[in-house]
Amino acid sequence: MNSVIKKCRVCGKEYEACRSANRGDTVFRWKEVACSPECGAIYLQRINESLSPSTLTKRVRMKKESEQTLTIVSEVQQTRANDTPEELEAES
């Protein structure tokens, strides 16, 4: 049987993947993504955490906050661009 060498998505170690692991159903099979059951459990936990509603809510909130920060920085930069050198010196 031909073996396929894959890289573990958790620790980066190369491992020999089992060809029978990829059956196409919806059951999680650690051999498709990890070198050991322990790394497979860590990978599955990370995926579940990334898909949880609270994590998605946090990501949306963080994205909105970063967009607001970028808007504020952009406005400050535009204001500074319009200032004369004398005005800039007076602020410092």
Cβ-based neighbours of 37, under 8 Å, separated by 6 or more:
30
Counting Cα atoms < 13 Å in the Cβ hemisphere of 82 gives: 5
pTM greater than 0.75: no
pLDDT in tens, the chain (92 residues): 567 899 999 999 999 987 665 566 778 888 889 999 999 999 999 988 887 777 667 777 777 777 777 777 777 777 767 766 666 566 65
